[in-house]
Structure 1
Amino acid sequence: MKAALIVERGGPEGRVVAEHPEPQPGPGEAVVRVRAVGLNHLDIFVRRGVAGKHLPLPHVSGGDIAGEVHALGEGVTGVQVGQRVLVDPLVDNKALGEDLPGGLAEYAVAPAKNLIPLPDAVTFEQAASLPIAYGTALRMLITRGRLQAGETVAILGASGGVGVACVQIAKLTGAKVIACAGTQEKLDRLQALGADVLVNYREEDFSKRIWTETGKTGVDMMVDYTGADTWEGSVRATKVGGRIVTCGATSGYDVSMFLPYVWVREIDILGSNAWTRDDLQQLLDWIGEGKLEPVVHGVFPLEEIHEAERLLEDREVFGKVLVRP
């Protein structure tokens, strides 16, 4: 089978499209013919070399997998060959594409218990947009952040996969959304998704603008997975009794906390990691009901994986980048 293989840790040249052995299902496993796979910053981190992990090479990344069941291992019940499915990437505290071989290939193997049947109304592309971006956003905003209708939430990096998902889910919840992005084009698209206030963080101090827009009280919730470059500003922009939620730190982990604001304002800082099976089912239900349409920047053939990754790495995307093996 063809696969986008990481053969060397580091830059884009470390990933090549080549022939690779087709996976075989073990007991309790299924092989899926991949029809769409979502690309995430995680794929870039894995290519560069995730700190503390020593994956054997070559490695196939790609965690957001949608396709058709191709083969079943011994003891599998409740799943049929040919069935359309979304694959939940979390496997016993490990992740497909990160710790285990993923879906940037024509075929992928996963435990059969991780397969979620796709409703007829949900396409492979819609499904492959969900787990890592939309699943993370749903858990971060709702489960951990407890976002409520009528509250105000500010979202940094609102034009990326997780950010766009946050904007859409926050609007579904009935919150007021302050969306922060780096270009006017991205801000215009965020406004079309329902964002109420638009902040170009390249042209103005996002923290000061949020403070002004909220009548100098701050937001109920600040979404910051940028980290080092923005954390102090996020603390300053959060109201008394508000909360900051995070699921990562794309600009670095060593943050300036500005602690006096944290204790004087009694700010809650909430970490959020991954998603649950119920989160993914909720997202599929919303798509089927016409309440949610995942935003897709583009769909690329496997042979154009370098361009797909470049767009993501250079932050030229709006929404999800998908690959069709």
Structure 2
Amino acid sequence: MRAMVLREHGDNDKLQFVADYPTPKAGAGDVVIRVRASSINYHDVFTRRGMPGIKVPLPVIVGLDVAGEVSELGAGVEGWKIGDRVLIDPINRVEGGLMGETQDGGLAEFCRAKAHQLIGIPDEVSFEQAAALPVAYGTAIRMMNTIGKIKPGEKVLILGASGGVGVCCVQLAKLAGAYVIACAGSEEKGRRLTELGADEIILYTQTDFMKAVFERHGKPHRRRFAKGGGVDVVVNFTGGDTWVKSMRVLKLGGRLLTCGATAGYAPTEDIRFIWTFELQILGSNGWEPDDIRTLFGMVQSGTLKVLIDKAYPLEDASEALRVIEDRVVFGKVVVTP
């Protein structure tokens, strides 16, 4: 089969397009699907580079998010048939492991997974839309709804708002009735975020987001009896030099939500802000299968938009990782083998 294979960690040139890679076979409890779409996430970039403390068996086919049709059933598999439209939950919640990291992922014509990882795709949802959901939108819905519990009227500042997780966070915050402040790197991305529902845009390439919040919404006050400014919630999955600034714009009792660290996982910290302003630092990790089913229902009803910015053929999958790494996308990027 055709596949994009990673044989050693490094830059994009380490991804190799192979026209005759072995096609996976279904063992007991397995299914093989004919891949119709795989979406790219920043986690795929980390896998390509190599992550401290995580052993990736090489060679490996990257790609966490995979949607397609069942092409082969292994012994003992029930409830599925050849041709079923399915999404693979990237997390193997029984044996452990992750698609595109500890086992081959979606950047190939065929992909093997355990039958318990399958989630049926509703007829109204395309393969591309389905593939865009698990990692980005699944992470967002757990972080915003289950962990963050965004409330009507709250001011929510979203960093990285134009990426896959970000565009979902914007929509979920608006659906919750919040006032959404979205950070974007260009006027075009800001315009598109406004169309998506953002109430306010901060162009971080032109102004420091912390100063912009202070100027527009006031500076937080640490005294309970004093009226202060700032925001109720900051969504920060970039880390790096935005971390302390995110704490500084929060109101007394504010919440900082995080689900990743694309700009650096070991930022400078200032814990004085945490105790002085009684801040809550809330981590969110992954999603549950029911979150994906909820997202399917929202997409079916038109409540939630799946924003796919670019689509690439399999042989150009390395370019798909590049645009994610360089942050020159709005929403999701998919590869269609």
Structure 2 partner of 1:315 = 327
Shift of 1:99: 1.9
Structure 1 partner of 2:313 = 301
Provide the secondary structure at the position in 1 that maps to 2:28.
coil
Distance 1:61 1:12 in 2: 12
Distance 2:315 2:281 in 1: 42
- Which of 165, 168, 171 is matched with 1:165 structurally? 168
Shift of 1:306: 2.2
Structure 2 partner of 1:289 = 301
Contact 2:160 2:184 in 1 (8 A): yes
Structure 1 partner of 2:56 = 55
- Which of 137, 141, 150 is matched with 1:138 structurally? 141
Shift of 1:90: 0.6
Shift of 1:118: 0.9
Distance 1:3 1:50 in 2: 22
Structure 2 partner of 1:65 = 66
Contact 2:60 2:101 in 1 (8 A): no
Shift of 1:255: 1.9
* Matched letter for residue 3 of structure 1: A
Distance 1:201 1:312 in 2: 18
Task: Give deviations 1:174-229, integer Å, cap 9, x for gaps.
Answer: 21110001111111111110100100111111012123333432111100111121
Shift of 1:102: 0.8
The correspondence of residues 98-177 of structure 1 with structure 2, limited to 5 A, is 98-177=101-180
Shift of 1:94: 2.1
Structure 1 partner of 2:8 = 8
Task: Give deviations 1:31-84, integer Å, cap 9, x for gaps.
Answer: 111000000111111111121223232210101111101110111111111000
Distance 2:217 2:284 in 1: 25
Task: Give deviations 1:4-45, integer Å, cap 9, x for gaps.
Answer: 100221011100110211111111111111000000111111
What is the TM-score with the length of structure 1 in the denominator? 0.97
- Aligned residue pair count: 325
- Is 2:192 aligned against 1:180? no
Distance 2:269 2:332 in 1: 31
Distance 2:277 2:253 in 1: 6
Shift of 1:257: 2.5
Contact 1:42 1:98 in 2 (8 A): no
Shift of 1:250: 1.2
- Which of 234, 237, 258 is matched with 1:225 structurally? 237
Contact 2:233 2:254 in 1 (8 A): yes
Task: Give deviations 1:153-190, integer Å, cap 9, x for gaps.
Answer: 10001111111111112112221110001111111111
**Hey, which bits of structure 1, 4+ residues long, moved more than 6 A?**
none
Unaligned runs of 5+ residues in structure 2 are: 220-228
Provide the secondary structure at the position in 2 that maps to 1:46.
helix
Distance 1:130 1:118 in 2: 11
Q: Percent identity?
A: 50
Structure 2 partner of 1:273 = 285
* Matched letter for residue 6 of structure 1: L
Unaligned runs of 5+ residues in structure 1 are: none
Distance 2:155 2:97 in 1: 34
Distance 2:287 2:215 in 1: 34
Distance 2:206 2:212 in 1: 11
* Matched letter for residue 85 of structure 1: V
Contact 2:57 2:102 in 1 (8 A): no
Structure 1 partner of 2:86 = 85
The correspondence of residues 227-266 of structure 1 with structure 2, limited to 5 A, is 227-266=239-278
Structure 1 partner of 2:222 = none
- Which of 183, 208, 212 is matched with 2:211 structurally? 208
Distance 1:258 1:58 in 2: 41
